[in-house]
Structures are given as C-alpha cells and as structure tokens.
Structure 1
Amino acid sequence: MEFNPVFLIIDDNLIDQLVTQQLLKKVLHVNQVVIVNNGQEGLQWILNSKKETEKLIVLLDIQMPVMNGFEFLEEFQKLNDGIKNEIQIYIVSSTLDPDEIHQVKKNENVSGFLSKPLPTDNLRKFFIP
C-alpha cells in the first residue's frame, strides 16, 4: 500500500517548520509538505487547495498569532463531513499545560498529540497505516 498523503504544517515557528519538513521527507519519504503560519492560513489552504480525494495530515501547533490551534479546531468543526473525513489532525506542541492537553485529547477531530521536537524513532507508527 502506497503512503502518499499531503502534510500540512500549521506552525508560526520557522525553525519548527523546517525541522518538521525535513523529518517528514527523510523519515517518511513524504513528497508533499505545505507550510502555513497560522490556523487561518491553514483553513484557507484546506478550502482552496485540497483536492477532493486527497488524504491530508495536518500537524497543528497550539500557540500561534492570528488564529491559534484551538481556534482552528473550532472552525474546522464547522466544515462539512466530506472534507473532515479526509483529514487527520495531529497536535504538535511543546505545551505542558494539563488544561491544554486535556482540551486536545477530548477533541473528536484530533487523531493524536505529538510533543516537540517530533519523536523520530516512532514517527512512522503515527502516520503509516
């Protein structure tokens, strides 16, 4: 089975963007990585650029300007199920705040929580079916 989703990195930190992109390419051999700087840009990309049957994996930071990760999840919830069913969202954060972690874990649209920096040793188990 071929593993060829598009990854959308939603993170305002340039270093985290570059490190995550390189990890995805080197560890998972991902071809398509899109990077945006906040939740608003991420939603716009999903609505304007995502192809109909394309599998999309979103790596979402929590703390960002303009629209943070929680605000993104609120807006994402409003999208139609046809779009939402083709998208997996993983929170990628360095937060240690138990309230934020609880909020992430109870969100039905979030597939998982990954700590920064991404765990290269078990990265494959998260994303490869």
Structure 2
Amino acid sequence: MAQHPLQVLFIDDDRILNMIHKAMLNKINFPSKVTFFESAEEALAYLADNKDDTSDYLIMLDINMPTMDGWEFLDELGSKWAHLTSFVVMVTSSIDQGDITKSKDYPQVIQFIHKPFKYDHLANLKNLPQLKPYFSS
C-alpha cells in the first residue's frame, strides 16, 4: 500500500470532456479524490493552495490548451513542484508523433493516451507499476 493518498487532477480545457470523465469515474466508484481544472494555471494554483497536503498526484493532462499548454505545465511542475510525488498521463487528441517522443523527456509522464479517454484506460491505470500500490487493498 502507498504511504500517501492519491489525488487525481484532470486538466483539460474541454468542459464537456471533463463532465464525461467525471461521470465515468463516479460510475466505477474511483477510489481517489478527483479534481477537475479547465486550465493548467488553475491546477498550479490548487497545488500552491494545498502545498502542505501529503497527497501524491496522478495528473491527467491535455497538451493543447490556451494560455498555458501541457508542456508549460510540465515545465512548471518539474521546476517548482519537483518535491511532489506526481505521475502524469497525457490525455490528448494530438496525433503528432513528436508529442509522444517529447513526453518521454519528462520523468513524471508514465503514459500517453489518445482521446477519448475510456473505461479500459481507467482499468489499465490501476495496473501500471507506478500506480498499483495506490489501488492495492
């Protein structure tokens, strides 16, 4: 079992997809606290407001967002929030092979998923070696 609770942060500027993802997680009684953000800046503000929280984070991150994109978020996460235990899953509509390659430059990125996010993706997340301890009873 993991030492700290796992919080899930969904960061995607698509409000409708966020509602769909929320419904999916509710339907399967996902065992972690899940918070949705429509911008990377909102998620960074949340991390700042909760800096004393002992949670670890699973961050579901879109790449293409206005103002601050997923890459800029990852750069900020790595520079200001490197002390956090965080695992990032890129959930994106990008079909650019360069994005998949670039994601490998970030040690926090553990998976790259093409939208739409599906129930199978949730099941697979629980089986990733990095996340398995959080979902073991």
TM-score by length of 1: 0.84
Q: CA-to-partner distance for each residue in 1:56-87, whole Å, 9 max, x for gaps?
A: 2111000111111011011111025432xx22
CA drift at 1:31: 5.0
Structure 2 equivalent of residue 42 of structure 1 = 43
Give the CA RMSD over aligned residues: 2.2
Structure 1 equivalent of residue 6 of structure 2 = 5
Secondary structure of 2:80's match? coil
Identity %: 28
Q: CA-to-partner distance for each residue in 1:20-73, whole Å, 9 max, x for gaps?
A: 112222235245221111111111111212553212211100011111101101
Q: State the aligned residue count.
A: 127
Structure 1 equivalent of residue 61 of structure 2 = 60
- Aligned equivalents of 2:48, 2:105: Cα separation in 1: 25
1:59 and 1:90 in contact (8 A); partners too: yes
Which amino acid is 2:9 matched to?
L
The structure 1 segments of at least 4 consecutive aligned residues displaced by more than 6 Å after TM superposition are: none
Structure 1 equivalent of residue 135 of structure 2 = none
What does residue range 1-129 of structure 1 map to in structure 2 within 5 Å?
A: 5-30=6-31, 32-49=33-50, 51-83=52-84, 86-127=85-126, 129=132
Which of 22-31 and 66-75 deviates more? 22-31
Unaligned runs of 5+ in 1: none
